[in-house]
Amino acid sequence: MKYKVAVVGAGAVGEEMVKVLNSENFPFSEIKILARSSRVQNIDGKDYNVYATTPEAFDDVDLALFCGTEGAKGASQLYGWEAVKRGAFVVDNGQDFRMDPRVPLVVPEVNGEEIKNSQGFIANPNCSTIQMVHALAPLNAISTIKRIVVSTYQSVSGTGSDAIKELEEQVVKYVNGEEIEPRNYPYQILFNVIPQIASLKDEFEGYYGEEIKMIKETRKIFGNPNIRVSATCVRVPVFRAHSESINVEFENEISVSQAREAISKWPGLELQDDPANNIYPMPLFARGKNPTYVGRVRKDTGNPNTLDLWCVADNIRKGAALNAVQIAFKAIEFGVLKAKN
Ligand X SMILES: NC(=O)c1ccc[n+]([C@@H]2O[C@H](COP(=O)([O-])OP(=O)(O)OC[C@H]3O[C@@H](n4cnc5c(N)ncnc54)[C@H](OP(=O)(O)O)[C@@H]3O)[C@@H](O)[C@H]2O)c1
> Taking CB under 6 A as the rule, does residue 237 contact ligand X?
no
Specify whether 233 is catalytic: no
How many other β-carbons are positioned within 10 Å of the β-carbon of residue 167?
20
- Interface residue with ligand X among 271, 297, 316, 325 (CB under 6 A) is 316
> Taking CB under 6 A as the rule, does residue 212 contact ligand X?
no
Shortest Cβ 44–ligand X spacing (Å): 15
Q: Residue 313 in contact with residue 319, Cβ under 8 Å?
A: yes
How far apart (Å, rounded) are the C-alpha atoms in residues 67 and 14? 5
Shortest Cβ 325–ligand X spacing (Å): 13
Give the residue among 283, 284, 290 at the shortest CA–CA distance from 317: 290
- Options 127, 134, 233, 311, the catalytic residue: 127
> Taking CB under 6 A as the rule, does residue 283 contact ligand X?
no
Q: Which residues contact 291 (CB under 8 A, 6 or more apart)?
A: 268, 269, 270, 313, 318
- Interface residue with ligand X among 68, 138, 281, 283 (CB under 6 A) is 68
CA distances from 269 to 40, 133, 157, 254 (A): 37, 11, 22, 18
- Interface residue with ligand X among 5, 6, 7, 12 (CB under 6 A) is 12
Stretch of residues binding ligand X (CB under 6 A), selected from 68-76, 144-152, 246-254, 261-269: 68-76
How far apart (Å, rounded) are the C-alpha atoms in residues 254 and 305? 7
Cα 17 to the chain's mean position, in Å? 12
- Options 67, 134, 242, 311, the catalytic residue: 242
Q: Residue 128 in contact with residue 209, Cβ under 8 Å?
A: no
Shortest Cβ 193–ligand X spacing (Å): 18
> Taking CB under 6 A as the rule, does residue 315 contact ligand X?
yes
> Taking CB under 6 A as the rule, does residue 69 contact ligand X?
yes
Question: Taking the chain, what is the end-to-end CA distance rounded to the nearest angstrom?
Answer: 9
Stretch of residues binding ligand X (CB under 6 A), selected from 61-69, 196-204, 274-282, 285-293: 61-69
Site mask for ligand X (CB under 6 A), range 132-171, x = bound: -------------------------xx-xx----------
- Interface residue with ligand X among 7, 43, 53, 118 (CB under 6 A) is 53
| Shorter beta-carbon distance to ligand X: residue 139 or 150 | 150
Specify whether 242 is catalytic: yes
Shortest Cβ 131–ligand X spacing (Å): 11
Stretch of residues binding ligand X (CB under 6 A), selected from 217-225, 249-257, 280-288, 311-319: 311-319
| Shorter beta-carbon distance to ligand X: residue 73 or 116 | 73
Q: Residue 7 in contact with residue 19, Cβ under 8 Å?
A: no
> Taking CB under 6 A as the rule, does residue 127 contact ligand X?
yes
- Site residues for ligand X, 75-94, by CB under 6 A, read 75, 78, 93-94
Total of residues contacting ligand X (CB under 6 A): 31
Strand partners, 7: 33, 65
Interface contacts to ligand X, rule CB under 6 A: 8-14, 34-37, 53, 67-70, 73-75, 78, 93-94, 127, 157-158, 160-161, 315-316, 319-320
